[in-house]
């Protein structure tokens, strides 16, 4: 692995981006460029209280979440699944899913996809439309 690659990440090490509607924030931390990973892409994700994120489908990759803080609902293929801090969530490839935050605090998640960032054009294209914000920006 090349010198200068990271093994430990802080949220300030990569850009913090926010969805155009202001309901979600994301920080893509594990990629080929940041640490040489070509098998996983991962980062942190936040959902503003009282909001519902947009629907996604990853046709060729499974996704996993770990709920760090807050509570909410995973909507998968039209079925609601409660989730809260400490839960691990599995989203199989090809399944339409979204996340709602029906709590009073920010819903914070760690996410990981079993594929390298360069092989995720639909996610890269979507996140390219999100604007960069300062880490201390309030909702």
Residues 74-110 have pLDDT tens digits of 999 999 999 999 999 999 999 999 999 999 999 999 9
Rg, the chain, Cα only: 15
Residue 104 tokens read as: 């009073």
> CB count, 10 Å around CB of 138?
4
Q: What global pTM score does this model have? A: 0.92
Cα separation, 82 vs 31, whole angstroms: 29
The pLDDT of 120-139, averaged and rounded, is 93
Helix, strand, or coil (residue 11): helix
> CB count, 10 Å around CB of 47?
24
Q: What is the mean pLDDT of the chain?
A: 93
> How is the chain split into domains, by residue range?
26-132
CB 101 within 8 A of CB 107: yes
The pLDDT of 112-119, averaged and rounded, is 94
Q: Give the CA angle between residues 131, 61, 45 to the nearest 5°.
A: 35
Terminal CA-to-CA distance of the chain, rounded, Å? 38
Per the CATH hierarchy, to which homologous superfamily does domain 26-132 belong? Jelly Rolls (2.60.120.10)
* Percentage of the chain modeled with pLDDT above 70: 97
E-state strands within 39-106: 41-47, 51-52, 63-69, 71-76, 79-84, 88-91, 97-101
**CA atoms within 13 A of residue 125's CA, in its CB half-sphere:** 6
Helix, strand, or coil (residue 42): strand
């Amino acid at each position: 692995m090349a010198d200068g690659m990271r093994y430990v990440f802080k949220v300030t090490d990569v850009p913090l981006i926010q969805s155009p509607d202001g309901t979600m924030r994301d920080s893509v931390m594990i990629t080929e460029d940041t640490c040489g990973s070509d098998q996983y892409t991962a980062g942190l994700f936040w959902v503003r209280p009282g909001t519902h994120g947009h629907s996604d489908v990853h046709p060729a990759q499974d996704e996993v979440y770990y709920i760090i803080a807050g509570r909410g609902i995973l909507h998968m293929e039209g079925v609601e699944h409660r989730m809260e801090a400490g839960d691990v969530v599995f989203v199989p490839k090809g399944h339409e899913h979204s996340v709602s935050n029906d709590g009073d605090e920010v819903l914070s998640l760690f996410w990981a996809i079993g594929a390298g960032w360069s092989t995720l054009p639909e996610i890269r294209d979507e996140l390219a439309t999100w604007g960069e914000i300062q880490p201390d920006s309030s909702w």
